[in-house]
Structure 1
Amino acid sequence: MDYRVIKENDLFLLTDTSGNIPENHPYGLGLYTKDTRFLSKLDLKINGEEPILLSSSANENYYATIMLTNPHMERDGELILWRESVELTRTRFIHNDVCYELLKAKNYFPKPVSFELSLHVDVDFNDMFIVRGFQNGDVGERTGQVVGKQEISFAYQGADNVKRASIIRWDKDETKVTETGDVHFNLSLGHEEEETIAFMVIPSINDEMPEIVEPKVALEKLKVSTAEWKEETTQVETNNKALQRLVDRGIGDLRVLLTDLGYGKFPVAGLPWFGVPFGRDSLIAALQMLPFSPDVAKGTLKTMAAFQGTKKDAWRDEEPGKIMHEIRFGELANTGQIPFTPYYGTIDATPLFLVLLTEYVNWTRDTALFQELETNVERALEWINRYGDRDGDLFVEYHQEAEKGIANQGWKDSGDSIVHRNGEYAETPIALSEVQGYVYQAKQGIASIYEKLGKVEEATALRTEAQTLKERFEEEFWMEDVSFYALALDKDKKQVGTLTTNPGHILMSGMLNAEKAKSVSDVLVSDKMFSGYGIRTMGKGEAGYNPMSYHDGSIWPHDNSLVILGMSRTNNKEQAATVMNGLIEASHSFEYDRLPELFCGYDAKLGKAVKYPVACSPQAWAAGTPLVFVQSMVGLFPDTLNNKVYVRPFLPEGTDQIKLLNVQIGEGVLSIEVKRSSETLAVEVLENTTAQEIIIEA
């Protein structure tokens, strides 16, 4: 990454690798919360000059460390500061919605030195959509700034009648502060003497201030919180060091991507641009996390239920029972200039809400949550049958109604992503293949829970609907000539026959028979679809194929993860192993072995995975991808409603041992280890307090 980003709860800081926020940077660097930039300029200088970058690290997920030094400084032949005399270390972290920076200066020159450090700050309070150049609109204005001895504050009155302010404080009292936001510190240090200045940036909304503690106390609390997360989350041990790094990175990234809007923790989509609730993204990331932290699924479900659609509103693509796509909290949303309050233009979030709920119950046996959300379930099912199926053909379709909404409303939401094999773009209403799989899986899963709750009639009706959908899907989507399913049906019910990953998601639904599941799996690992580093979103050679595109030939780790999960469930394990090993190999091409949101779909023969230029990292469902690897390798599929836990293990080449500790299932925990022994796999149950029967299937 050519930026540095840290986040905690709803506040995140995005800077360049030197730790600065240059004005008008193309990445829109800054400090953000509630879709508003609370710091738009942050420049550190030594004697008025830019320091030289030595190293820049955000390896610890929750804080960043940046090391700099001074350039050589002379004036009229007189030495001011010898090059590399002063080491500057910037350590920044976020706690309780306050951004902290510890700036340490250390003198390595043989003699005492004196120099000036200066910090230059400003705030524009721009809405995220304005920062990114997506939208202009009527906005408020800056209402001035106040300079104090150890503080400078900037104020803004929004067009939405919200008062916003940024307060910058520091703990060194010998300073010079200008009205323009320049803070100057004069330091004198002996040989190997050091001094640390602590800064705090405090965003304030409507005069509300977070609790502020000493920086060292804040950092200690942050470390404790991180340690508790690791302890509460399922632990993984494997001999595959690359996989271990991926898993550890994913678990750490997911922690910093968690946010709580009052209904429990859930994952936001990703940084830097999508640090807000996204229906589809949050639901899929929570699904990936089920074997590691089922409480995240609970928080996600309750959050989505709280914002479920209640009325027909074309401006926001809202319909009764529909689960949201995205919610924003900035000035443009608050004034109704954009429809994200929330916006509902997604075709898959509603069935995915039901899929996550049924899988959560499978893992936890928490039927109490199901009963709490039962009205939401009924409304979601009603939406699927009444609004999702627009024409009564049993398929769920989308069509944009919001003027400023999204045209393509599946996970591939680019305007060019649904394209026929002749290169023509499909016209809406469009029925996507994977969405029909989600609907089938949702109805079958809800039916199983209904049966346990004694609602036999409702369960029978859902199973009948699911079976009919399965039969109709086979008739309309199967393409015999390529032994694969169509991407979609267009407005004329014609197949959109381009080969894509979308049908791969159906593997996890249980809707395909064994023969069709194998055929789909084989196509997905063919040379046309599989690059060596992962499965391309679109097959090489298709009319719309472009390895540099966002959705038409790139590789998305989360997309691959759902395919892998389905391959594991349908016993197509060799294909799953191929994809996992490809992604593990690709991870070496990225900073900290972190899988990004997406990368380009070029062949692995290039020797390195090619970065997509503006991929988010960390991204929640990319971080969750290696967690799916682990579940798939162990083959762990609980069915707590029937007191069973199925274990169907396989280990790809390079992985000879994997251990899961403290997996939360039902009301207890399961610890299990899978080892390769000669040509067979040995499974050992290390602990089982779940009261579930463990069924190991070779």
Structure 2
Amino acid sequence: MNYRVIKENDVFLLTDEKGNIPKDHPYGPGLYSKDTRFLSKMDLKINGQEPILLSSEAEESYIASMILTNPHMEQDGNVELWRESVELTRKRFIYEDVFYEMITAKNYNPKRTAFDISLHVDADFKDMFIVRGFQNGNIGSRGETTLENNRLVLTYNGADDVKRETAIAWNEEASSVNKEGDVHFHLDLEHEEARTIVFTFAPTIDGQAPKTYPPEGALENLAVSYREWEEETTQVKTDNEALQRLIDRGIGDLRILLTDLGHGRFPVAGLPWFGVPFGRDSLIAALQMLPFNPDVAKGTLKTMASTQGQSKDSWRDEEPGKIMHEMRFGELANTGQIPFTPYYGTIDATPLFLVLLSEYIKWTGDLDLFTELEPNVEKALEWIDSYGDRDGDLFVEYHQESSKGIANQGWKDSGDSIVHRNGDLAKTPIALSEVQGYVYQAKESIAAIYEKHSEGQKAESLRNEAAKLKEAFEKAFWMEDVNFYALALDEDKNQVGTITSNPGHVLFSGMLDEDRAQTVSRMLVSDKMFSGYGIRTMGKGEAGYNPMSYHNGTIWPHDNSMVILGMSKTGNKSDAAKAMKGLIDSAASFEYDRLPELFCGYDAKGKAVNYPVACSPQAWAAGTPLLFIQSILGLFPDSLTETIELNPVLPEGTNELEVTNLSIGKGQLSVRVTGKDDGFKTEVLSNTTGFTAVTNRYHHPKGE
């Protein structure tokens, strides 16, 4: 990455590798909260010159550090500051919505040395949509800048009648400061003497200022919260070092991306631009996290339920019972200039809401949450059958109504992603293959919960609807000539026949017969679809195929994870192991072994090729290796029947895997899988779940 990003709860900081926020940079660095840029310039200088970068680290994710030094400074033959004589260390973090910047200057000159350290700051308070160049509109104006003691306050009066402020403070007397945001400190240090200046930046909205703490205490509290997160999360140990690094990175990154809007913790979509609630992304990331921390799913479900659609509103693509797509909080949203308050243009979030709820209950047995959310469940099911199925053909399809909405409303939401074999773009309404799988799974799973609730009539009705959908899906989507399922149906109910990864999501739904599931699985790991580093979004040789295209040939880790989980569930374990190994191998190509949002779909020859503007960290990419663990174990608990299915396979390069403290029902499960060329075995180390049917089998290492 050529940028550094840190986040905590609702605030994130995006800078260059030196730690600066260059003014008017096209990438839009800054300090952001509630979709507003509260800091648009932050430059560190020594004697008025920009220091030289030595190192820039953000491995811990919640804290970043940079080491810099001074250039050689000479005037008229007189040395003002010898090169590399001063070390500058920047250490920064965010705690309880305040950004802390600790700048330490250390003198390595043999003699006592005097120099000037300065920080130059400004805030434009731009809405994120304006920063990214997506939108212009009616905006407010800068207010008065105040300067008092060791504190500078920049203000903005928004067009939404919201007053925003950035309060900047420092811990010692500055040698000079002005309202233009130039803060200078004169330092005079002995050899190896160091001095630390602490800045705090507090975004304030309508007078609601966050509390500032002493930096050492704030940092320790932040570190403690991360240790607690690790302790409450399932533990994994494996001899595959690459897989271990992926797991550790994924757990840490998901902690960064957690936010709480008052209904419990849930993962925002990703950084830097999607640190907000996203229906589809948050729901899938929470699904990936179920084996590690099911409480996140609970917070996600309650957050989504709190914004469930109430009325018909074409501006926001809202309909009663629909689960939102994206929520924004900035000036443009507040003034109705963009429809994201929230925006509902997603076809899959509503069935995924039901899928996550049913899977959460299978893992936890928390039927109280179902009772609490049952009105939301009924509204979601009603939306599927009415607004979702626009023409009564049993298929859920989408069509954009909002003038500033999204045209393609599945997870592949770019404008060119739904393309026919001849290269023509499909026209809406469009019914996507994976969405029908989500709907089938939702109805089957919710039926089982209704049955447990002694609501047999509702259960029977949902199962009948699911059975009809399965039959209709086979007739409408199966393509006999290529032995695969269509990507979608277009406005005329014609198959969009391009070979893509989308039907792979249907594997997890349970809607496919065994032979068809195996056929789909084999196609997805064929040379056409599998690059060696992962399953492509679109097959080589298709009219729309482009290994650099956002959705038409690249590799998305989360897409792979959903397919891999389905392969594991349907018994296609060798294919799952192959796909997992590809992504594990790809991780070495990325900074800090962090799987990005996506990467290019070229054949594996050397390093994986980066996609230039991929989000990183990104929630469902971080959750991908977590879902690997469930897939490796073949672990599918069901608290409704009090059973736990274990059907493991170890991907190549993995000989030992130990997973401890899996939360299932009201207890925990710990499992070890070991093996080499002559086979492998599964040991249940402990089982306090109270569930009696634990399957423990021996398997060939290739999963055949």
Instruction: Give TM-score scaled by structure 1 length.
Output: 0.99
Q: Contact between 1:451 and 1:459, CA under 8 Å: does it hold in 2?
A: yes
Q: Contact between 1:350 and 1:380, CA under 8 Å: does it hold in 2?
A: yes
Distance across 2 between alignment mates of 1:175 and 1:348: 57
Distance across 1 between alignment mates of 2:61 and 2:686: 31
Distance across 2 between alignment mates of 1:437 and 1:74: 69
Distance across 1 between alignment mates of 2:132 and 2:150: 33
- Residue 701 of structure 2 corresponds to none
**1:175 Cα deviation after fit:** 2.7
Q: Does 1:287 align with 2:274?
A: no
Instruction: Map 1:195-344 to 2 at 5 A.
Output: 195-344=195-344
Distance across 1 between alignment mates of 2:334 and 2:175: 39
Distance across 2 between alignment mates of 1:697 and 1:158: 63
- Residue 423 of structure 2 corresponds to 423
**Two-structure CA RMSD over aligned residues (Å):** 0.7
Q: Contact between 1:150 and 1:175, CA under 8 Å: does it hold in 2?
A: no
Distance across 1 between alignment mates of 2:638 and 2:630: 14
- Residue 366 of structure 2 corresponds to 366
Q: Contact between 2:174 and 2:183, CA under 8 Å: does it hold in 1?
A: no
**1:112 Cα deviation after fit:** 1.1
Per the alignment, do residues 653 and 481 of structure 1 end up closer, same or farther by CA in structure 2, a change over 3 Å counting? same
Distance across 2 between alignment mates of 1:661 and 1:101: 38
Distance across 2 between alignment mates of 1:591 and 1:167: 33
**1:148 Cα deviation after fit:** 2.2
Per the alignment, do residues 513 and 697 of structure 1 end up closer, same or farther by CA in structure 2, a change over 3 Å counting? farther
Distance across 2 between alignment mates of 1:320 and 1:636: 35
- Residue 702 of structure 2 corresponds to none
Instruction: Map 1:34-433 to 2 at 5 A.
Output: 34-433=34-433
Deviation by residue 1:613-658 (Cα, 9 ceiling, x = unmatched): 1000000000000001111111111011111111111101100011
Deviation by residue 1:438-484 (Cα, 9 ceiling, x = unmatched): 00000000000011110000000000000110000000000111111
**1:147 Cα deviation after fit:** 1.4
3-state SS, counterpart of residue 435 of structure 1: helix
Distance across 2 between alignment mates of 1:357 and 1:697: 29
Distance across 2 between alignment mates of 1:386 and 1:197: 61
**1:195 Cα deviation after fit:** 0.5
**1:44 Cα deviation after fit:** 0.2
Instruction: Map 1:614-653 to 2 at 5 A.
Output: 614-653=613-652
**1:678 Cα deviation after fit:** 4.9
- Residue 695 of structure 1 corresponds to 695
Deviation by residue 1:90-143 (Cα, 9 ceiling, x = unmatched): 000000000001111111111111100010000000000000000000000001
Q: Contact between 2:304 and 2:323, CA under 8 Å: does it hold in 1?
A: yes
3-state SS, counterpart of residue 641 of structure 1: coil
Distance across 2 between alignment mates of 1:442 and 1:22: 48
Distance across 2 between alignment mates of 1:616 and 1:210: 28
Distance across 2 between alignment mates of 1:141 and 1:8: 28
**1:24 Cα deviation after fit:** 1.1
Distance across 2 between alignment mates of 1:681 and 1:466: 37
**1:337 Cα deviation after fit:** 0.3
- Residue 487 of structure 2 corresponds to 487
- Residue 477 of structure 2 corresponds to 477
- Residue 541 of structure 1 corresponds to 541
- Residue 578 of structure 1 corresponds to 578
3-state SS, counterpart of residue 546 of structure 2: coil
Q: Contact between 1:149 and 1:177, CA under 8 Å: does it hold in 2?
A: no
Distance across 1 between alignment mates of 2:580 and 2:27: 31
Distance across 2 between alignment mates of 1:209 and 1:331: 18
Q: What stretches of structure 2 of length at least 5 have no aligned partner?
A: 699-704
Q: Which amino acid aligns with 1:650?
A: V
Distance across 2 between alignment mates of 1:195 and 1:320: 59
3-state SS, counterpart of residue 32 of structure 1: strand
Distance across 2 between alignment mates of 1:697 and 1:182: 68
Q: Does 1:661 align with 2:665?
A: no
Deviation by residue 1:10-36 (Cα, 9 ceiling, x = unmatched): 000000000000011111000001000
Distance across 1 between alignment mates of 2:525 and 2:50: 50
**1:677 Cα deviation after fit:** 5.2
Q: Does 1:608 align with 2:607?
A: yes
- Residue 676 of structure 1 corresponds to 675
Distance across 1 between alignment mates of 2:371 and 2:680: 40
3-state SS, counterpart of residue 144 of structure 1: coil
Per the alignment, do residues 116 and 209 of structure 1 end up closer, same or farther by CA in structure 2, a change over 3 Å counting? same
Distance across 1 between alignment mates of 2:110 and 2:675: 59
Distance across 1 between alignment mates of 2:676 and 2:249: 28
Q: Contact between 1:176 and 1:185, CA under 8 Å: does it hold in 2?
A: yes
**1:359 Cα deviation after fit:** 0.1
**1:696 Cα deviation after fit:** 2.2
Q: Which amino acid aligns with 1:13?
A: L
**1:42 Cα deviation after fit:** 0.3
Distance across 1 between alignment mates of 2:682 and 2:643: 16
Q: Contact between 2:682 and 2:697, CA under 8 Å: does it hold in 1?
A: no
Q: Which amino acid aligns with 1:600?
A: C
Q: Contact between 1:72 and 1:83, CA under 8 Å: does it hold in 2?
A: yes
Q: Does 1:502 align with 2:484?
A: no
Deviation by residue 1:268-310 (Cα, 9 ceiling, x = unmatched): 0000000000000000000000000000000000000000000
- Residue 22 of structure 2 corresponds to 22
Deviation by residue 1:591-618 (Cα, 9 ceiling, x = unmatched): 001000001111112x111110100000
Q: Which amino acid aligns with 2:684?
A: V
Q: Contact between 2:270 and 2:618, CA under 8 Å: does it hold in 1?
A: yes
Distance across 2 between alignment mates of 1:636 and 1:111: 65
Q: Does 1:13 align with 2:13?
A: yes
Q: Contact between 1:508 and 1:566, CA under 8 Å: does it hold in 2?
A: yes
Distance across 2 between alignment mates of 1:349 and 1:122: 39
Q: Contact between 1:279 and 1:326, CA under 8 Å: does it hold in 2?
A: yes
Q: Which amino acid aligns with 1:610?
A: V
Q: Which amino acid aligns with 2:299?
A: G
Distance across 2 between alignment mates of 1:536 and 1:100: 41
- Say which is worse superposed, 574-583 or 11-20, in terms of deviation: 574-583
Deviation by residue 1:313-369 (Cα, 9 ceiling, x = unmatched): 000000000000000000000000000000000000000000000000000000000
Distance across 2 between alignment mates of 1:658 and 1:33: 40
Q: Contact between 1:4 and 1:15, CA under 8 Å: does it hold in 2?
A: yes
- Residue 594 of structure 1 corresponds to 594
Q: Contact between 1:149 and 1:175, CA under 8 Å: does it hold in 2?
A: no
- Residue 514 of structure 2 corresponds to 514
Q: Contact between 2:288 and 2:627, CA under 8 Å: does it hold in 1?
A: yes
Distance across 1 between alignment mates of 2:333 and 2:676: 58
Deviation by residue 1:355-408 (Cα, 9 ceiling, x = unmatched): 000000000000000010000000000000001000000000000000100000
Distance across 1 between alignment mates of 2:530 and 2:695: 33
Instruction: Give TM-score scaled by structure 2 length.
Output: 0.98
